Amino acid sequence: MNKIKSIAIFCGSNEGNDTIIIDHAKQLGKMLAIQNITLVYGAAKIGIMGIVAEAVLQHQGKAIGVIPEFLKLKEVVHLGLHKLITTKNMHERKLKIHELSDGFIALPGGFGTFEELFEIITWAQLGLHQKPIGLLNSNGFFNDLISMLETMTAKGFLKIENLDLLIVDDNIDSLLSKMKAFKPKYVPKWLKTELT
């Protein structure tokens, strides 16, 4: 079993209009706090991001935010976090979030959420890390994405071993259990590279 002390959450800066997704965000934040897993996220007080963070804090959990300077100036930053790290840009922010996290979970969101998810999967595919990556499929939000990934595999653009890097579940307890039990697959030597 993996010792997961911190998880990075990728999710929307908007709340959306699906109450099941909002409820899942609250449940995940509560579960992280109960399991003493530190939340690492983009530091916003708005959207699904803010909902997860508030749930963590309401249940005496720990939350670390990482935000680039230009977003901090837009007054979207959550001021009640245990630690707030300011970076120069988005790239530095993602590197810091990776460094602070033992695993990653994507919740529903927009372009930014998908960009973060695919980048962290790509890093795993290239052997830059061996941390578990979860997809919380709240109310079937990611069904079409999962179907697209299966099409990519069927058409020969994605190896099944790399598809399996993504741990998918619509149940929070089950997702966290699968992440803790995750065993990374063998990566060829020529792809073993340290992330700096």
The confidence score (pLDDT) of residue 194 equals: 52
Question: pLDDT digit string (tens) for 68-112?
Answer: 998 877 768 998 999 999 999 999 999 999 999 999 999 999 999
Plot region of 90 (φ>0 → left; ψ -120 to 50 → alpha; else → beta): alpha
Kindly report the number of other CB atoms within 10 A of residue 41's CB atom: 27
- The boundaries of the domain holding residue 128 are 6-182
Is 195 part of any domain? no
Q: Is residue 196 part of a domain?
A: no
As a dihedral over the C-alpha atoms of residue 30, residue 163, residue 94, residue 104, rounded to 10 degrees, the angle is 20
Number of compact structural domains in the chain: 1
Above pLDDT 90, what percent of the chain? 85
Residue 87 located in a structural domain: yes
Query: Residue 194: inside a domain, yes or no?
Result: no
Residue 192 domain-assigned (yes or no): no
Give the type of residue at 61: G
Instruction: Give per-residue pLDDT as tens, 37-59.
Output: 999 999 999 999 999 999 999 99
Contact (CB, 8 A) for 21 and 108: yes
How do strand 63-68 and strand 83-87 relate by DSSP bridges?
Answer: parallel
- Could you tell me if residue 154 is inside a domain? yes
* CATH number for the domain harbouring residue 53: 3.40.50.450
